[in-house]
Structure 1
Amino acid sequence: MRAADISDLWWRTAVYYCLDIETFQDSNGDGAGDLEGLASRVDYLADLGVTCLWLMPFQPTPDRDDGYDISDFYNVDRRAGDLGHFVELLRIAHGRGIRVIIDLVLNHTSDRHPWFVEARRSRDSEYRDYYVWRDKPPRNAQPTVFPGEEASSWEKDERSGQYYLHSFYRHQPDLNLANPRVREEIARIIGFWAQLGVDGFRVDAVPFLINPPGAADETDPHGFLRELHRFVGRRRGDAVLLGEVGLPQQEQREYFGLHETELDLQFDFETAQAIFLALVRGDARPIAESLKRRPTVDVRQGWVTFLRNHDELSLQMLSAEEREEVFEALAPDERQRVYGRGIVRRLAPMLRGEPRRLRLAYSLLFSLPGAPLLFYGEEIGMGELEGMGDRRAVRSPMQWRRGPTAGFSTARPSRLVRELPGGGYGPEHVNVHDQLRSPDSLLSFIKTLIARYRSAPEIAWGELVLHDVGDPQVLVHSLRTDEATFLAVHNVGDDARQVRIDEDAVGPDRLIDLLEPVGPVEAEDGVFRVALDGWGFRWFRAGAEH
């Protein structure tokens, strides 16, 4: 591709940062974060190196599912501010070179949304067909997404005597995308936010948009996604569609589009789970095997890599034995597990706060092929709320400084939208203020990784090569373009290793260290020898000094 073409694909090389407005910064002392508070922290995010914000839902909501139960797609929840505050946030973020994408929740609404309120008044309501109704639940009904929380994906509406579909919670009725009027409403929603200036959308729960009942076209299930992408492109040509497709990589391939683009980016759930299995075993092979399986996609499309996000750490793509192995190591308390498949913990406590192991994990995140994603607070090693037992455990207020409300709010601690972690992960020990002033802090390290990632475009654009060095404990991979070769070496075990890499595998150049101010590694007798401590890692660029 021409350089001009590549420069338009900003989403392929972005550094993503996901946050919940209500838990990031409170500006008015009511105990909940808001848009003005977030705007006041944009400089912090720019200094960190973030280039794209992903905002979790902030529209009006009864808040029974942390905002994903939306009751008005065209507005801002009054607790967060108003549309004027949102536009001002966009202006400030764009002024600092940060793009903003928002959650696009298309599968369902809140049961308090005016559409559903009207739909359940009468079977003859003009909004009745906005949702999926049956006289009786089908015999082969799909299971609920949240085992143990909902007995069925069909709920009886006592007034009309019919059942409505809810793939998630009963207070989130599924939209009927087979109805052209619903698809028209979705187009208006997308057009509205695009006109305000958002740079794209993170599309929630994509597989549920194409599965019957309620699919736009059962004869061409992916047609709706192609239609969605075309519409976004017409309204704003440089906007991105980032899809949540929680499927194995080979099945994800179809969601990129086999003949026409559907999604520009997808999260790589399979590699994320492989990383945790590798860290638990001290064996890098699960990561290498996942990367080998990852389908090759068009250069205009790509993968988003992550370690933790706003949901549970899903392990559903691991075998039952592998899943139990990770559970026992990282979530030994049953209260730290949900739905039989996931862990509701943040990364730092899962890895027992071990600095070298934590840095190893983030080194993998930023050096593997794909655009990296951070969940807010990861950069300082925040912990979760112990014993909460659901996904809200990882969504506690951002810890800006020491004190009873962590600099998040001036409200009394009892008025905070959510409590703060205690113990060694509380704000007295983990906060932005202290880490900004320490060159050895996790925050300083993450800033360095982001800076190196952004200065080495071959990580995003290069061709992946996995190098077998005869040691299952060590992952060696390179990413090559015509201009440069990036090489990363990771030891996922706790004992030291000496790695031998054939000179021919990376070229005859010396290796320039990108993370440490040390001299280059020269080949001896055709072999580069790289020493690694336990949980050690090195980043190199092959070639002359840069």
Structure 2
Amino acid sequence: MKKTWWKESVVYQIYPRSFADSNGDGIGDLQGIISKLDYLKKLGIDVIWLSPVYKSPNDDNGYDISDYQDIMDEFGAMQDWEELLSEVHKRDMKLIMDLVVNHSSDEHQWFVEAKKSRDNRYRDYYIWRPGKNGGEPNNWQSAFSGSAWEYDENTDEYYLHLFSKKQPDLNWENPTLREEVYKMMNWWLDKGIDGFRMDVINFISKVDGLPDAPAEEGKKYVSGHEYFMNGPRIHEFLQEMHQKTTANYDVMTVGEMPGVNHEQAKLYTDEERKEVNMVFQFEHVDLDSGPDGKWDLRPLKLADLKENLSSWQKGLEHVGWNSLYMNNHDQPRMVSRFGNDKEYRVESAKMLATLLHMMKGTPYIYQGEEMGMTNIRFENIEQYKDIETLNMYKEKREQGVPHDKIMEAIYVKGRDNARTPVQWDDSEHAGFTTGTPWIDLNPNYKEINAKAVVEDENSIFYYYHKLIQLRKQHEIIVYGGYDLILEDNEDIFAYVRTLGNEKVVVVCNFYGNEPTFELPNDIQFSESELLISNYGDEEGTVKQFTLKPYETRAYLLK
């Protein structure tokens, strides 16, 4: 396997609106990010992934872009962005930008023109269809509830929007549109960025004819994902994109790809095929969803998580590359979801970090994760800002689902869990802003904040720092093979990494009880060294020890 810088890196995701506000308007901004770069340098990360900062009416928090080559006023100006890039590079870190090209904003100049008439030269930049039987062109549902089609009275046609109606899908079948996208990407690459995270990039190729999806009882609209996820021309488009843009630069690319399995991921990430370096897949974050999708809550089974993460480790072992994450701007806080954010918040946060950072792949840290930030439980639905959450709430209430039941699902899965402001200190508004925050803070900021973790040498922050350093010191953590052990143990997630004559044994207790770990007899070694543990007082040896609640240890064996 080829060694590259992006395989050896740790990425930190910044969601700018909630990161740090420099001017007191309650909204995070670019100067706010610049003011915190030394904190990120201290943590030890290599790459910053910046969620969208482009010009946008902000219907979906910046993922609806009205100008790909300008900056949202609330975040600053282009010179602020240029200063950010320069300051990141000065600290030997890299910056990757979000690329959102499955759709634009309906306020993008292309769409403003496209709506003017059916023969406008920009019309074919988007996907338009006449109605059918007095209704929409097909029965597809938007990811944000309701139909995926919006009627335009002026031209008597519908346009496709797989997300909000203010996010019309771009028509990748149009070669002129594709050239416009590549030109824009090269403009950013020439500015010196270090790569792209590509939003729902496996949606850009739709099946010819956009057929109806199989009907589901009691539902007017259904997900047509089989007609736009991993579509017929997706590999052709990604290879063309690579050839015309990123092939000419030493950069990293990660494709967000809902609905992708390992066999497909291998095709996307095989270095010989020249598409993307790695994918974000969603299987492991869907394990606690029932048959009715994300909001249909069910408890996570450790056996399912082991099976799933291990299958990705083995599936991409020789071809391709994994991204490692458990939370981001669209997912709830990992310590609340997969750990215990009450009695064992610190211990379980460290355990989950060990589980991920010791695997093969590129780890992604989401802002606030390194201090153990938790999910939020707002009292009122009015306090929530996320379009997906609000649309779902409205739809479920109309169906007669009780308020309390919907709120419980929001507390567990809502996207605003990850979007409350970063908690910098215990002063008013957690040091995020001197004004009124755009979304309410989590009231636990008095205890959980960056100042507190930086001052405490046993904090989650320094634990992350150590995990990042271990990756730099031990090639085995980056490039070693992976094997699950104790497969049937109901409390412990344990695995072995192997490179040459070295092994790393990683042991994670997922619960609050105290199981005993026994190293399988076939793992031979002459010396062992404890690399990291979250309790610090080591009893027993790698061969056998009793785990404390949420305890984790990693041993290097030679």
TM-score using structure 1 length:
0.83
- 1:376 corresponds, among 355, 367, 381, to 367
In 2 relative to 1, CA 65–375 (structure 1 residues): closer, same or farther, beyond 3 Å?
A: same
Q: Aligned partners of 1:514 and 1:432: how far apart in 2? A: 25
State the secondary structure of the residue aligned to 2:13. strand
1:498 and 2:516 correspond: yes
- 2:163 corresponds, among 140, 149, 168, to 168
Q: How many residues align?
A: 490
Shift of 1:235: 3.0
Question: In terms of mean alpha carbon deviation, does 486-495 or 290-299 score higher?
Answer: 290-299
Q: Which one-letter code corresponds to 2:328 in the other structure?
A: N
Does structure 2 conserve the Cα–Cα contact (< 8 Å) formed by 1:132 and 1:164? yes
Q: Give unpaired runs (5+ residues) of structure 1.
A: 313-344
Residue deviations 1:357-393 (CA, integer Å, cap 9, x gap): 3322222121222211111011112234423245234
- 2:341 corresponds, among 352, 356, 378, to 352
Counterpart for residue 405 of structure 1: 429
Shift of 1:225: 0.8
Q: Aligned partners of 2:308 and 2:86: how far apart in 1? A: 43
Does structure 2 conserve the Cα–Cα contact (< 8 Å) formed by 1:194 and 1:235? no
Counterpart for residue 529 of structure 1: 544
State the secondary structure of the residue aligned to 2:67. coil
Q: Aligned partners of 2:122 and 2:254: how far apart in 1? A: 29
Does structure 1 conserve the Cα–Cα contact (< 8 Å) formed by 2:476 and 2:497? yes
Shift of 1:76: 1.0
Runs ≥4 in structure 1, deviation > 4 angstroms? Answer: 137-140, 213-219, 272-277, 279-282, 516-523
Does structure 1 conserve the Cα–Cα contact (< 8 Å) formed by 2:173 and 2:205? no
- 2:20 corresponds, among 25, 31, 39, to 25
Q: Aligned partners of 1:48 and 1:144: how far apart in 2? A: 39
Shift of 1:259: 6.2
Does structure 1 conserve the Cα–Cα contact (< 8 Å) formed by 2:202 and 2:230? no
Shift of 1:268: 3.9
Question: In terms of mean alpha carbon deviation, does 120-129 or 462-471 score higher?
Answer: 462-471
Q: Which one-letter code corresponds to 1:452 in the other structure?
A: L
Does structure 2 conserve the Cα–Cα contact (< 8 Å) formed by 1:360 and 1:537? yes
In 2 relative to 1, CA 368–37 (structure 1 residues): closer, same or farther, beyond 3 Å?
A: same
Q: Which one-letter code corresponds to 2:90 in the other structure?
A: G
Q: Give unpaired runs (5+ residues) of structure 2.
A: 211-227, 291-297, 379-383, 390-413
- 2:61 corresponds, among 57, 66, 83, to 66
TM-score using structure 2 length:
0.81
Q: State, as a whole percentage, how many aligned pairs show the same letter.
A: 29
In 2 relative to 1, CA 395–39 (structure 1 residues): closer, same or farther, beyond 3 Å?
A: same
In 2 relative to 1, CA 431–518 (structure 1 residues): closer, same or farther, beyond 3 Å?
A: closer
- 1:458 corresponds, among 465, 471, 476, to 476
Counterpart for residue 439 of structure 2: 418
Shift of 1:92: 1.3
Residue deviations 1:379-415 (CA, integer Å, cap 9, x gap): 112234423245234212211111222112222x3xx
Shift of 1:142: 2.8
1:514 and 2:531 correspond: yes
Counterpart for residue 88 of structure 1: 83
Q: Aligned partners of 2:528 and 2:341: how far apart in 1? A: 33
In 2 relative to 1, CA 300–10 (structure 1 residues): closer, same or farther, beyond 3 Å?
A: farther
1:267 and 2:252 correspond: no
- 2:555 corresponds, among 537, 540, 543, to 540
Does structure 1 conserve the Cα–Cα contact (< 8 Å) formed by 2:70 and 2:78? yes
Q: Aligned partners of 1:72 and 1:430: how far apart in 2? A: 37
1:179 and 2:174 correspond: yes
Q: How does 1:244-263 map to 2 (within 5 A)?
A: 244-250=256-262, 251-256=264-269, 260-263=273-276
Does structure 2 conserve the Cα–Cα contact (< 8 Å) formed by 1:119 and 1:126? yes
Shift of 1:11: 1.4
Counterpart for residue 121 of structure 1: 116
Shift of 1:103: 0.6
- 2:206 corresponds, among 199, 211, 215, to 211
Shift of 1:478: 1.1
In 2 relative to 1, CA 299–46 (structure 1 residues): closer, same or farther, beyond 3 Å?
A: farther
Q: Aligned partners of 2:418 and 2:160: how far apart in 1? A: 29
Counterpart for residue 142 of structure 2: 144
Shift of 1:112: 0.7
Does structure 1 conserve the Cα–Cα contact (< 8 Å) formed by 2:510 and 2:550? yes
Does structure 1 conserve the Cα–Cα contact (< 8 Å) formed by 2:66 and 2:107? yes
In 2 relative to 1, CA 246–21 (structure 1 residues): closer, same or farther, beyond 3 Å?
A: same
1:364 and 2:355 correspond: yes
Q: Which one-letter code corresponds to 1:85 in the other structure?
A: D
Shift of 1:494: 2.4
Q: Aligned partners of 1:187 and 1:289: how far apart in 2? A: 35
In 2 relative to 1, CA 221–446 (structure 1 residues): closer, same or farther, beyond 3 Å?
A: closer
In 2 relative to 1, CA 484–272 (structure 1 residues): closer, same or farther, beyond 3 Å?
A: farther
Does structure 2 conserve the Cα–Cα contact (< 8 Å) formed by 1:456 and 1:486? no
Shift of 1:212: 3.1
In 2 relative to 1, CA 532–385 (structure 1 residues): closer, same or farther, beyond 3 Å?
A: closer
Counterpart for residue 192 of structure 2: 197
Counterpart for residue 455 of structure 2: 437
Shift of 1:455: 2.5
In 2 relative to 1, CA 130–171 (structure 1 residues): closer, same or farther, beyond 3 Å?
A: same
Counterpart for residue 480 of structure 1: 498
In 2 relative to 1, CA 154–408 (structure 1 residues): closer, same or farther, beyond 3 Å?
A: same
1:232 and 2:223 correspond: no
Does structure 2 conserve the Cα–Cα contact (< 8 Å) formed by 1:282 and 1:492? no
In 2 relative to 1, CA 225–455 (structure 1 residues): closer, same or farther, beyond 3 Å?
A: same
Q: Which one-letter code corresponds to 1:247 in the other structure?
A: G
Residue deviations 1:82-138 (CA, integer Å, cap 9, x gap): 222212211211121211111100111111111111111111211111111111156
Q: Aligned partners of 1:348 and 1:218: how far apart in 2? A: 35
Q: Which one-letter code corresponds to 2:330 in the other structure?
A: D
Question: In terms of mean alpha carbon deviation, does 368-377 or 27-36 score higher?
Answer: 27-36
Q: Which one-letter code corresponds to 2:341 in the other structure?
A: R
Does structure 2 conserve the Cα–Cα contact (< 8 Å) formed by 1:348 and 1:381? yes
State the secondary structure of the residue aligned to 1:10. coil
Does structure 1 conserve the Cα–Cα contact (< 8 Å) formed by 2:115 and 2:154? yes
- 2:321 corresponds, among 279, 283, 302, to 302
